[in-house]
Structure 1
């Protein structure tokens, strides 16, 4: 992994930006952390992880590659900023109504939708802890929904952990599928119809009786349906404690 500078992961969010003067690129664009992150997400969709090389980013921004050193300490620092931007994009359209199930569903679906829309970035970002403002806002939002539903502080923390890992796990799986070469992705999707519907029933009786249902359901993400099962589990937990 290429580095832009010395890494200090203990620095609090926002410290690096303090006192940093915005600079214009050779094309006249004002260089900023926000512009670099948006450009990195765009390049990731085109070139994968190689997009985060300082030279490629500098060319795309019309800036001297050394200018990136002033904004990000390392490639990993930039990946964390990309991860936080994805969270911010996900939260943009979330509206908290006070109905916990609908609110948590909205957060989950927006996260999943954003990550699968930017699969190359999502594969890098889904497992990271950004320590940045959007992530903190997301954690506060998720805990707030669960506390308002009736869970105590400790239970809210545990259920939030399960919810976010559950959601990002599905997002990472679905995003990874979208990063495959088009031919491989099509072959994987088509296999449920082309291969599994033709297996001999005497050898694979359970597959044979469910083959057409498999071909239909396996071509789409399981997340929306699995999310409802998860929410049902939360409702059961609330009911058991009379909340």
Structure 2
């Protein structure tokens, strides 16, 4: 009888990423991944100790892909913005993995590439050395939150999104102006959460970087 096929780590991660395109972290399981590969769970545990480690590795591949071919250009703010937009685009193609990254983080090569570039950019900004670790942490928390939030919207089906927009219209335009005077005043200008996501992403990040700039001697 022929032995079971031995899958490489890369092949396992490719298949896991494909499964996660249509499922979330809760419904994803090592057993389902093993079935898709035509093997048993025990063979996968030779590569990854548990499901969380596997999910972190899949998310790290997205980080590595985002940084592939990246060359630093411009000043420190332009470098951080370019890195952020690369992450946003990469996870935009894998929204389920964006949520996983925001939840579990990652510690592989992709993560190191992002960390190195953001830290190098901050070092070139003129910030005092002792402030850089904290500033780095705040930037990454902001990016993870923005990217994961946007990914949550991307995972909605068109019908679910339209239903949400309709509920938003009812909540805003149907609000009693006596009880909610400010909402009534701005109702026709308020936009749904899913509108202008890229513009909001860039503006929030720019405002944060401007705040850092004020701390540079």
Q: Tell me which interval the TM-score lies in, with the shorter structure as reference length.
A: 0.7 to 0.9
Unpaired stretches in structure 2, ≥5 consecutive residues: none
Higher relative contact order (CA 8 A, sep 6+): 2
In structure 1, the residue matched to 2:119 is 143
Shift of 1:49: 2.6
Q: Which string of whole-angstrom CA distances, capped at 9 and with x for unpartnered residues, describes residues 54-89 of structure 1?
A: 332123223444321221121121012012112112
- Rounded to whole Å, the distance in 2 between the matches of 1:172 and 1:125 is 8
Given that residues 82 and 121 in structure 1 are in contact (C-alpha distance below 8 angstroms), is that contact kept between their aligned partners in structure 2?
Answer: yes
2:168 to 174, 192, 197: 192
Gaps of 5+ in 1: 1-23
- Counting only pairs closer than 5 Å after superposition, residues 178-217 of structure 1 correspond to structure 2 as 178-180=154-156, 182-215=158-191
Separation (CA, whole Å) in 2 of partners of 1:89 and 1:143:
19
User: Which stretches of structure 1, 4 residues or longer, exceed 6 Å deviation after superposition?
Assistant: none
TM-score (norm 1): 0.76
Deviations 1:72-119 (A, max 9, x none): 121121012012112112222533114111111111122223223322
Q: Identify the residue that residue 165 of structure 1 maps to in structure 2.
A: 141
What is the alpha-carbon root mean square deviation over aligned residues?
2.5
Q: Find the aligned partners of 1:64 and 1:218 in 2 and give their Cα distance.
A: 40
Aligned residues: 213
Q: Is the 8 A contact 2:64 2:110 kept in 1?
A: yes
Q: So what's the TM-score if we normalise by structure 2?
A: 0.84
Question: Partners of 1:50 and 1:203 in 2: how far apart?
Answer: 40
Q: Is 1:231 aligned to residue 209 of structure 2?
A: yes
